[in-house]
């Protein structure tokens, strides 16, 4: 997708594809009827990697990279993830706030020249239930069924939100309110919310 056209988008649909040994994500624009429109990005993440690195491509054949994110440290629960463009130039970063995430998952997204965005789970009750769910014997092998949503704010101003939909495969709707926010950073953060949420 043309970079200018990508930056004009205000809503993306993210869908996880189930594949052995990898997580795959398709990011689409939204068509006029609410269905998936043009492919904006395709991502693939190896499971159980010691150092997270995810590349997003313009197509499912993975011929043209458009951005990527990579952990700064190996197996660090509070590691920052650098987001780079197609040739490896930095365009921003995101990081999990480990201390605040003990109760409700919280992330910080940084874009040069832009206020730091803080995103956390909208429903604090669901956040607590998700944590308790993981400690119940034998139940932790069953996927957590309740959807969760993240709202990212610059101060008291909503910049974008990521809403998980109830479906067999993980599906998300990304709504962007801030016109100056780099869409590539938003896409990277949206994919990371699913790919890295258990860390």
Extract the tokens encoding 197.
């949420």
Query: β-strand 90-96 against 80-85: which pairing, if any?
Result: antiparallel
Residue 110 has pLDDT above 50, yes or no: yes
Quick count: other Cβ atoms within 10 Å of Cβ 80? 17
Identify the band that residue 199 occupies on the pLDDT scale cut at 50, 70 and 90. very low
Residue 139 has pLDDT above 60, yes or no: no
Quick count: other Cβ atoms within 10 Å of Cβ 119? 23
Q: Which range of residues forms the domain containing residue 147?
A: 3-195
Q: Report the CATH number at residue 148.
A: 3.20.90.10
Cβ contact 57:64 at 8 Å? yes
As a whole-number percent, the residues of the chain with pLDDT over 70 amount to: 79
Q: What is the DSSP string of 100-141?
A: GGGTS-EEEEE-TTSPPEEEEES-HHHHHHHHHHTTSTTGGG
Q: How large is the C-alpha radius of gyration of the chain? A: 16
Residue 140 has pLDDT above 60, yes or no: no
The pLDDT, as a whole number, for residue 181 is: 97
Lowest-confidence pick of 24-33, 50-59, 91-100, 109-118: 50-59
Residue 134 has pLDDT above 90, yes or no: no
Residue 146 has pLDDT above 50, yes or no: yes
The pLDDT, as a whole number, for residue 64 is: 94
The pLDDT, as a whole number, for residue 144 is: 52
The pLDDT, as a whole number, for residue 14 is: 96
Say which residue, 133 or 157, is predicted with more confidence.
Answer: 157
**Number of compact structural domains in the chain:** 1
Phi and psi torsions of 17, nearest 5°: -105, 135
């Amino acid at each position: 997708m043309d970079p200018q056209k990508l930056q004009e988008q205000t809503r993306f649909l993210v869908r996880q594809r189930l594949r052995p040994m990898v997580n795959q994500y398709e990011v689409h624009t939204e068509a006029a009827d609410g269905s998936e429109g043009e492919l904006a990005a395709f991502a693939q993440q190896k499971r159980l990697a010691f150092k997270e690195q995810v590349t997003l491509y313009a197509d499912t054949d993975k011929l043209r990279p458009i951005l990527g994110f990579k952990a700064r440290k190996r197996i660090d629960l509070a590691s920052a993830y650098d987001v780079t463009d197609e040739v490896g130039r930095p365009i921003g970063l995101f990081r999990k706030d480990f201390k605040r995430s003990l109760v409700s998952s919280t992330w910080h997204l940084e874009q040069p020249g832009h206020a730091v965005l803080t995103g956390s789970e909208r429903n604090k009750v669901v956040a607590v239930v998700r944590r308790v769910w993981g400690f119940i014997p034998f139940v932790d092998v069953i996927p957590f069924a309740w959807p969760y949503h993240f709202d990212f704010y610059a101060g008291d101003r909503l910049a974008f939100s990521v809403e998980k939909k109830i479906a067999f495969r993980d599906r998300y709707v990304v709504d962007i309110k801030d016109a100056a926010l780099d869409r590539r950073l938003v896409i990277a953060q949206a994919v990371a919310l699913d790919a890295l949420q258990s860390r």
